[in-house]
Amino acid sequence: MAVFVLDRQKNPLMPCSEKRARLLLTRKRAVVVRVYPFSIRLKDRTGGTVQKVVIKIDPGSKETGLAVSRVSAQGEHVVCLIELIHRGRQISKALDQRRGFRSRRRGQLRYRAPRFNNRTKPKGWLAPSLQHRVDTTASIVKRLRALVPVKSISQELVRFDLQQMENPEISGVEYQQGTLLGYEVREYLLEKWGRECAYCTAIDTPLEIEHLVPKSNGGSNRISNLTIACHDCNQEKGSQTLAEFFQTSSRLKDKQNRMDNVLIQCKRPLRDAAAVNSTRWALFQSLKNTELPVNVGTGGQTKFNRQRLGIPKTHALDAACVGVVEQVFDWQKTTLRIKATGRGSYKRTRLTKHGFPRGYLMREKSVHGFQTGDMVRAIVPTGKKEGTWLGRVAIRKTGSFNIQTSDGAVQGIHHRHCRLMQKADGYGYHLQPTPQKGEGKQESLSC
């Protein structure tokens, strides 16, 4: 993973290698600005030549992929890979709980008739769990712009071409006769069916497009009649109807429940896709407000680029393949996973599932100079916790802290062993190796 570089005036320069950053720090020519992503500031340099750098975004419901790429005549060179983990579901659950508490308080003394029209929502309003996805993505983009000289932004805006999928015979769409033919449908089916066989739930195996009602029995190519299946299930089903296949198959277990699940899933809308479609234009407008050029692409185009270049599927590598891409270099980098954790809570009481208090939190926000969410390095010389631990700290009034590492939580670390590396900023960080060729999910589709 490249190291971001700032000059004396804190203006972004081109990133450098880890070796060069280590030499600059050793020779006292630079100081560390941030640990995640690792950034340094030069002491003896102002300004410099910069190249074209682009931030590429693949929005998602639970995770959003971001890639920082340097553009050259040969193609795009990946500088940094980031996967941003949203907390929309936690926000939704917290709001449901708060709604329940308020409802109880309103009715505990006297009955109050419900009022529905006393609050109006402004135009373009999004639910807090959806607005969170827009705000956190825009926040990470803003932070990256302060660390690297960004010239443009690319976003995967149109996730699925629903009109073409509902009516495959539609004409006049240029890409239908080109290399992107069918990629929108395939990516949609993989998302809808969870990238597993609809019949036997097999994963990590090549999947094929399968007609629920066979074409020989009058079935169409509409998206509601399509699913994905492994090769064995597709061959065994053949021209049978769904009911006949589940009755005669000897490979399937719990046949009735599985058939009911297939019938429900084929009519169920994509919850995550709906969240992405609800926020895509809000995110696009937020990126436009940066006054940088914003290019857009489709999900099918991203998938086509990734498979053409032989790149495994991850959220961050999807982002590197967004838009018009000729070639992608240096994508075998460690991915920085950033998890949105929030900045704490005003609520000082923990509750049981029935709403009764079960414990009270401390009033102080910091203990011995540490606060919950700080990135720390703890070096314990002796005892059961002997070793070096790196992660987010959860403080206690006693001075015995918990550290959340990438491998799990370590409890009972004394504060005198902890060293502050980065103040809490509402996010948790850890590095994850990027899969190499052949290690990604098997998701090839054929008709």
Asked if the model's pLDDT at residue 258 lies above 70, the reply is yes
Interhelix angle 271-288/183-192, rounded to 10 degrees, is 120
Average pLDDT over residues 289-318: 90
Asked if the model's pLDDT at residue 166 lies above 80, the reply is no
List, for residues 102-129, the tens digit of each pLDDT value: 777 777 766 767 666 667 788 888 999 9
Instruction: Say which CATH class 349-425 falls into.
Output: mainly beta
Cα–Cα distance, 89 to 327 (Å, whole number): 36
List, for residues 350-387, the tens digit of each pLDDT value: 888 777 888 888 888 899 999 999 999 999 999 999 99
Q: What is the pTM of this model?
A: 0.77
Asked if the model's pLDDT at residue 67 lies above 70, the reply is yes
Cα–Cα distance, 97 to 91 (Å, whole number): 10
DSSP classification of residue 232: H
Res 167: pLDDT:
52
Average pLDDT over residues 146-168: 74
Which one-letter amino acid corresponds to residue 419? R
CATH for 3-87+127-161+272-340 (3.40.50.10860, 3.30.420.10, 3.30.300.130, 3.30.460.20)? 3.30.420.10
Helix (H) or strand (E) holding 246: helix 242-248
List, for residues 172-187, the tens digit of each pLDDT value: 444 444 455 566 677 7
Burial of residue 267, with CB atoms counted within 10 A of its CB: 0-12 exposed, 13-18 middle, 19 or more buried: exposed
The per-residue b/e assignment along 403-413, b for 16 or more CB within 10 angstroms, e otherwise, is bbeeeeebeeb
Q: Which residues pair with 5 in a beta bridge?
A: 13, 40
DSSP classification of residue 196: S
Cα–Cα distance, 380 to 377 (Å, whole number): 10
- Cβ atoms within 10 A of the Cβ of 188, count? 21
Cα–Cα distance, 252 to 246 (Å, whole number): 7
CATH topology of domain 162-170+180-270: DNA Binding (I), subunit A (1.10.30)
The per-residue b/e assignment along 94-105, b for 16 or more CB within 10 angstroms, e otherwise, is beeeeeeeeeee
- Please report, for the chain, the start and end positions of each structural domain, with discontinuous segments joined by +: 3-87+127-161+272-340, 162-170+180-270, 349-425
More confident residue, 239 or 76: 76
Asked if the model's pLDDT at residue 341 lies above 80, the reply is yes
Res 118: pLDDT:
66
